[in-house]
Structure 1
Amino acid sequence: MTSYARERKIAELAVRRASLLTDSVYHSRVKGTVTKEDKSPVTIADFGAQSVVIGAVLHAFPNDAVVGEEDADVLRRDAATRELVWGLVNDAVKSSPELEDDIGTVADAEEMMNLIDRGNSEGGAKGRIWALDPIDGTKGFLRGGQYAVCLALMQDGEVVAGAMACPNLPVDPSTPSGERGVVFSTVKGAGATVKPLSASADAEGSPIAMNAITDLSDASFCESVEAGHSSHGQQAAIAKALGITKESVRMDSQAKYGSIARGDGDVYLRLPTSATYQEKIWDHAVGKLLVEEAGGVVTDAHGKPLDFSKGRTLKDNKGVVAAAKGVHGKVIEAVMKELGVSPVPSL
């Protein structure tokens, strides 16, 4: 197997098993939520998915570290919620016995909580560290929209492999009412692929590539649903400046990265809404690599590369701009003009 090929496989299997869990939660009558201190919604599926994914990673690579979004404090305090989540985890593991050799099992509720808490790495510039978002786009998940289970490996601060399951993304974008559910995966230098969630675990994915556009008037934007995540007004002004006339596509989660990587759209903008907000590494790691391996460029709003070596956040970056190589520079020029900032000096 090529370098990081096993990591790619384990990532695919982990997000696949976790998506079984999240999908079962959504289609059940149980969509219980709790509220973290930052007031963002967390579903029982977040906890279950984090346990399943971290269990898979540590089964295959026991010495690796994980940066995860959740901890098990709520479950340790609330027995009813703990048992509910454990039931979901147990069902997900039992429903995929063919994956046991590769990604293991979760023995009981105590191990489940311990696995969730293993997502406590502070990240950094050294070693093998996985960035995990068990449900990226929780609000999208709750409303039946787009969400993703996202996992990426960083080696010495550089994203090198990962996978992302998008249970509600159409398999064929030309028939949005058809089959839904895809898994994207990628390795640095080896391209990016997509396959249906319904495909067998060992099925090969199909290579994906961004649209090779040169005229931005033909492009389409992808942006966040939540205005609190990105400035819709500024993005509309940038679209106008670039001559883009198509209505923007709004969706939650890193599904946006996957969508433009396979050619559903052309430009993803996430402009800063606050001078102090720091993007979380788990919100961008695998998506960034997917777009790059599909022929795109991903930087911050100032044209700087995203730096995943600084800890749990992209504290040295502001915003995100992803676009095809042929037009990324033009998009950055328009973004910086709208934001009133100077270009980053060439190295």
Structure 2
Amino acid sequence: MAHSPFARELQVACLAVQRASIVTKTMLAEADKGSTDKADASPVTIADFASQAILISAIRHNFPSDKFVGEESASALRNDPALADRVWQLVSTTQLHDTESEEIVAAPSSLEEMLSIIDLGGNGEGARHTRTWIMDPIDGTASFIQGRQYAVSVALIENGEQKVGVVGYPNLHFHSTEVHEDTVDRNGYGIMLSAVRGHGAYKRPMSKERLQPAVKVYNVLARTDTGQPDLVFAESIESPYIDQRLHQVVRERLGVTKPITDLWSMQAKYAALVVGGCNVMVRIPRSPEYRAYAWDHAGGMLVFEESGGMITDLDGQPFNYGRGRTLADNVGLVAAFPEFHSRVLELAQEIRERHKEGMKDNTH
């Protein structure tokens, strides 16, 4: 990775994600996480706001011309000074123990600066014409509140394409080859997955010190000596956005016998694909108009691709991250390894089209 054209960007992103991950993890012991509901009824906590402030502040300090897209805005904090103060206390009192690393991440120097920095992401319009960092300060806030799997992610976008991806998983064991909601690292700070396009995927344990050595990683379920491996699907059983009935048909047609890995966080599903807990993910939306938020996939998607995986939308097209805050050009998703991606994609397309035709017949 030292010879990567994005070596500095990778270092800064890794340190920022590590610091933000530690901040979020300190909140897990708190009974009151300052949770409120956003307009779409999804929860947000003081850890979400603190994490976004840390991520943007670190990257902006090192790359002042870059733009940002983040899930959160500071409007709720501006309307609630007590909540804003709690976020500021969290940001200003949690630091890395390594002085050099702490200087690189350059946290906000005041509460007002923190609010302005959060809004740089919340008001970001997308990576259309300039280098842009897309981030999710906590992916899986609902599962974070329950002490389950969640992620802190950031990705650098150029010309609509991911170039650098870093995702922290504060509750995931470093040596784990499976990812489950309730198998939680309670003694450490979890793991980080990272990638630069064309340079492979890596993992390292997170800590309050400087960055730990990175180890190259690839999915042990990708290939076997006896031919196609058993297919293990990553799913979101409770997601209101995907059609779980159609997913079940895909699995049945493929003859899948292994239990699914059910995870709420999208980025956690990418971790499961990378470390070996799963080797297939299909996303067939309930509504043809549904488009995923860019921050739900940025970072984790690149890491999976660099671990040897292949990802397309349901039309077999690559993902365009230069179309705003959503993946506006892409419907659905198929993630698998090249040996069986085409088979899974064909089935997903066929089942989706049959479902569409059935819906048309029912309207006549």
**Bin of the TM-score, shorter chain as denominator length:** over 0.9
Instruction: From 252, 259, 276, give the equivalent of 1:240.
Output: 252
Structure 2 CA distance, aligned partners of 1:199 and 1:49?
15
How far the C-alpha of 1:50 sits from its partner, in A, is 0.4
Do structure 1's residue 290 and structure 2's residue 292 form an aligned pair?
Answer: no
Structure 2 CA distance, aligned partners of 1:79 and 1:320?
41
Q: Which amino acid aligns with 1:212?
A: A
- Note the 1:152-231 alignment, pairs <5 A: 152-173=155-176, 176=183, 181-198=190-207, 200-210=209-219, 211-213=221-223, 218-231=230-243
Structure 1 CA distance, aligned partners of 2:150 and 2:44?
13
CA contact (8 A) 2:193 2:202 kept: yes
Instruction: State which drifts further: 234-243 or 172-181.
Output: 172-181
Match of residue 34 from structure 1: 36
Q: Which amino acid aligns with 1:160?
A: K
Match of residue 360 from structure 2: none
Do structure 1's residue 326 and structure 2's residue 328 form an aligned pair?
Answer: no
Match of residue 13 from structure 1: 15
CA contact (8 A) 2:20 2:54 kept: yes
Match of residue 330 from structure 2: 317
CA-to-partner distance for each residue in 1:184-237, whole Å, 9 max, x for gaps? 010001111011113853322111112333755611011124331422222121
Instruction: State which drifts further: 52-61 or 120-129.
Output: 120-129
Structure 1 CA distance, aligned partners of 2:128 and 2:198?
20
CA contact (8 A) 1:209 1:261 kept: yes
Do structure 1's residue 73 and structure 2's residue 85 form an aligned pair?
Answer: no
Q: Which amino acid aligns with 2:50?
A: G
Aligned residues: 342
The structure that is strand-richer by fraction is 1
Structure 2 CA distance, aligned partners of 1:229 and 1:53?
28
Secondary structure of the corresponding residue to residue 44 of structure 2: strand
How far the C-alpha of 1:274 sits from its partner, in A, is 1.7
Secondary structure of the corresponding residue to residue 218 of structure 1: coil
Q: Which amino acid aligns with 1:246?
A: K
Structure 1 CA distance, aligned partners of 2:215 and 2:302?
16
Structure 2 CA distance, aligned partners of 1:241 and 1:136?
31
- Note the 1:86-101 alignment, pairs <5 A: 86-93=88-95, 97-101=99-103
Q: Which amino acid aligns with 1:218?
A: D
Instruction: State which drifts further: 203-212 or 327-336.
Output: 203-212
CA 1:140–1:163: 2 relative to 1, 3 Å: same
The answer for unaligned runs of 5 or more in structure 2 is: 356-364
Secondary structure of the corresponding residue to residue 134 of structure 2: strand
CA-to-partner distance for each residue in 1:231-267, whole Å, 9 max, x for gaps? 2222121111111110100112201112212222101
Structure 2 CA distance, aligned partners of 1:142 and 1:199?
22
Match of residue 117 from structure 1: 119
CA contact (8 A) 1:229 1:270 kept: no
Instruction: State which drifts further: 200-209 or 146-155.
Output: 200-209
Structure 2 CA distance, aligned partners of 1:88 and 1:124?
29
Q: Which amino acid aligns with 2:94?
A: A
Structure 1 CA distance, aligned partners of 2:223 and 2:142?
32
Q: Which amino acid aligns with 2:45?
A: T
Q: Which amino acid aligns with 1:296?
A: G
Match of residue 249 from structure 1: 261
Q: Which amino acid aligns with 2:319?
A: L
CA 1:225–1:46: 2 relative to 1, 3 Å: farther
How far the C-alpha of 1:96 sits from its partner, in A, is 6.0
CA-to-partner distance for each residue in 1:101-134, whole Å, 9 max, x for gaps? 2111221111110110111221133221000100
How far the C-alpha of 1:90 sits from its partner, in A, is 0.8
Q: Which amino acid aligns with 2:172?
A: L
Instruction: State which drifts further: 167-176 or 60-69.
Output: 167-176
Match of residue 105 from structure 1: 107
Q: Which amino acid aligns with 1:234?
A: L
Instruction: State which drifts further: 173-182 or 126-135.
Output: 173-182
Q: Which amino acid aligns with 1:148?
A: A
CA-to-partner distance for each residue in 1:47-102, whole Å, 9 max, x for gaps? 11000110011011111000011110111111110111111111223766442221
Q: Which amino acid aligns with 2:193?
A: F
Secondary structure of the corresponding residue to residue 170 of structure 2: strand
CA 1:331–1:197: 2 relative to 1, 3 Å: same
CA-to-partner distance for each residue in 1:283-313, whole Å, 9 max, x for gaps? 1111111111111101112222111111111
After superposition, the CA RMSD in angstroms is 2.0
The answer for unaligned runs of 5 or more in structure 1 is: 343-347
Structure 1 CA distance, aligned partners of 2:184 and 2:207?
16
